[in-house]
Amino acid sequence: MNFDQNKAFSYLEKLTSNFKDRFGGSGNEKKAAGYIRRHFAACGLKSQFQYFPVKTYLGRKKKLIITRPALGEIDCELVGLAANTPPRGVEAEIVFVNTGEEEYLSPSLKGKILLLTGGVPYKRYDAVMKIRPAGIVTIEWEVKKPPVRIEIMPEWKTKWGAVPILRITHESGYRLLRNKAKRARMIVDFAERKVKSLNVIAELKGSEKPEEIVVIGGHYDTSPGIPGASDNAGGTALVMELARVFAKKGSKRTLRFVAWGSEELGLRGSIFYAQSLKTADKKSKKKKSFVKTGGKTGLDKHRLCVNLDVHGVLIGGNEALILGTHDLAASVRLLAKEMGPAFAVREEVYSSDGTPFSEAGVPSISFARSGGTTTYLHTPMDDISHLDASMLGMHGRFIEAWLERYVTQAVSFPFERSVPDDLKKKIKEYFNERLGLPLE
């Protein structure tokens, strides 16, 4: 029983066609979760849903109209969970502030619409909000790319407030600057909702060391209204096919195959899973009876997380990002040299579902294939036309071989359950300064 790239591609096709809009908390996310769980059941695996709360949104209206000079309406996308305008919108002077860094900002910009390039990351968000602009319009860095469909973290809004934000193409930004746009009107309307999202968890119990748990996961949700083919129907398809393969082959250790929900809303599914383990761990280790018995908590039993996010593009490069000891990185380098394909292996944070595990002390490895058309992530152009079954097969066969050698058949688990201090520092910086979600 080996990895079948055609089966994997069929899962991908189903996810992108039947459940095109799998946005966190949506009806299609729940339908996709049901499809994935039925697949796990067909593989003979016991599975369950893990529900968790999320704040999500439904976009209803977005407009950007340049009123002086009269350039008319510009195609745009709203940034969810930021702020709405009044029904008639807000109209104000529009001012180009380059990248929006502090050097370009001043109190004189209060009440104006800021036009900037590349979005407003968390590390600059507070400085921009302190000015109290009327709104923000961000220009995409890449040419010939639709404006991405993203949102701010609700925690940012709670801490610093929010203003209406729209995104436009690079070409539209160029047009505004060349025509010396002076005044604009923004209309933003979305409905904010508190709902439930869900992880899909299937387990293959280990035949010899069931207390050693390895998680193999990928997120199945998308940004609003898009197919999410490479991000991350491709990764989900890999998880589904690996579940089928190892359900037949068996494993000495327990494997948990997980489809994460609401990754695009801020890694919410994996954060909920990992933080639940941390909370239970702390409670258990405060009990005198636990200390005397020297037992292991659920968190202690988790030895590794294998994360699969962004997969299947025909033209791209292979990456493995490691949050663990040097041996973990070396294992990928050595096997890649032995059997191919080539992987760029780095000991670095990857903005995906493996990182919450490593924040909790569990090493993680994230496999990805990026480049070329992955520039279209979070846009309607992230569709199946850019993907190919052979690329799923290339990664799937490698990950199958890697898991078989180092996880499912190893006599002793080869990787220390440790995250080095330099990587812990990077993880903390990622959550505190990039994602804006401090977990401590």
Confidence of residue 292 (pLDDT cuts 50, 70, 90): low
Question: What pLDDT is stored for residue 286 in this prediction?
Answer: 87
Residue in the structure block whose two tokens are 């380059």: 98
CB 32 within 8 A of CB 239: no
Q: What is the pLDDT of residues 228-237, one digit of tens each?
A: 999 999 999 9
Q: Is the confidence at residue 294, as pLDDT, over 70?
A: no
Question: How far apart, in whole angstroms, are the C-alpha atoms of residue 223 and residue 236?
Answer: 15
Both structure tokens of 27: 């009806």
Q: Which of the two residues, 325 and 440, has the higher pLDDT score?
A: 325
Q: Which residues contact 65 (CB under 8 A, 6 or more apart)?
A: 72, 73, 74, 89, 184, 185, 187
CA nearest to 429, candidates 418, 415, 440: 440
| DSSP 8-state code for residue 353 | T
CA nearest to 43, candidates 251, 216, 202: 202
Determine the average pLDDT of the residues in 120-127.
95
E strands, 278-353, are 302-308, 317-323, 344-346
Question: How far apart, in whole angstroms, are the C-alpha atoms of residue 232 and residue 414?
Answer: 29
Q: Is the confidence at residue 315, as pLDDT, over 70?
A: yes
Both structure tokens of 339: 């059997």
Q: What pTM value is reported for the model?
A: 0.97
Question: What pLDDT is stored for residue 290 in this prediction?
Answer: 77
Q: What is the pLDDT of residues 139-196, one digit of tens each?
A: 999 999 999 999 999 999 999 999 999 999 999 999 999 999 999 999 999 999 999 9
CB 355 within 8 A of CB 423: no
Question: How far apart, in whole angstroms, are the C-alpha atoms of residue 115 and residue 138?
Answer: 6
Q: Is the confidence at residue 380, as pLDDT, over 60?
A: yes
Instruction: For residue 311, give the amino acid letter.
Output: H
Q: Which of 3.30.70.2190, 2.60.40.10, 3.50.40.10, 3.40.630.10 would CATH assign to domain 5-56+195-434?
A: 3.40.630.10
CB 405 within 8 A of CB 309: no
| Residue spans of alpha helices (H) in 100-233 | 122-131, 154-160, 170-178
Q: What is the pLDDT of residues 384-399, one digit of tens each?
A: 999 999 999 999 999 9
Q: What is the pLDDT of residues 340-371, one digit of tens each?
A: 999 999 999 999 999 999 999 999 999 999 99
Residue count of the chain, please give it.
440
Q: Which of 3.40.50.1360, 3.50.30.30, 3.40.50.10490, 3.10.20.520 would CATH assign to domain 70-181?
A: 3.50.30.30
Both structure tokens of 132: 């109290």
Is there a shared CATH topology between the 5-56+195-434 domain and the 70-181 domain?
no
Q: Which of the two residues, 432 and 290, has the higher pLDDT score?
A: 432
Question: How far apart, in whole angstroms, are the C-alpha atoms of residue 83 and residue 158?
Answer: 12
Peptide bond into 164 cis (omega under 30): no
Angle between helices 27-42 and 5-18 (to 10 degrees): 150
Instruction: Report the share of the chain in percent with pLDDT over 90.
Output: 96
Q: State the burial class of residue 412 (Cβ atoms within 10 Å of its Cβ: 0-12, 13-18, 19+).
A: exposed
Buried b (16+ CB within 10 A) or exposed e, 333-348: eebbeeeeeebebebe
Q: What is the mean pLDDT of the chain?
A: 97
Question: How far apart, in whole angstroms, are the C-alpha atoms of residue 10 and residue 217?
Answer: 18
E strands, 34-160, are 46-68, 72-74, 77-78, 90-96, 113-117, 135-139
Question: What pLDDT is stored for residue 311 in this prediction?
Answer: 98
CA nearest to 313, candidates 12, 74, 101, 19: 12
Question: How far apart, in whole angstroms, are the C-alpha atoms of residue 333 and residue 342?
Answer: 8
Peptide bond into 232 cis (omega under 30): yes
CA nearest to 19, candidates 261, 195, 217, 216: 261
Confidence of residue 1 (pLDDT cuts 50, 70, 90): low
Confidence of residue 295 (pLDDT cuts 50, 70, 90): confident
Q: What is the pLDDT of residues 43-75, one digit of tens each?
A: 999 999 999 999 999 999 999 999 999 999 999
Residue 251: HSE in the Cβ half-sphere, 13 Å Cα cutoff: 32
Residue 331: HSE in the Cβ half-sphere, 13 Å Cα cutoff: 23
Question: What pLDDT is stored for residue 129 in this prediction?
Answer: 97
Determine the average pLDDT of the residues in 239-249.
98
| DSSP 8-state code for residue 266 | T
Determine the average pLDDT of the residues in 106-123.
96
Instruction: For residue 276, give the amino acid letter.
Output: S
Q: Where are the domains of the chain?
A: 5-56+195-434, 70-181
- DSSP result, 102-120: GGG--GGGTTSEEEEES--
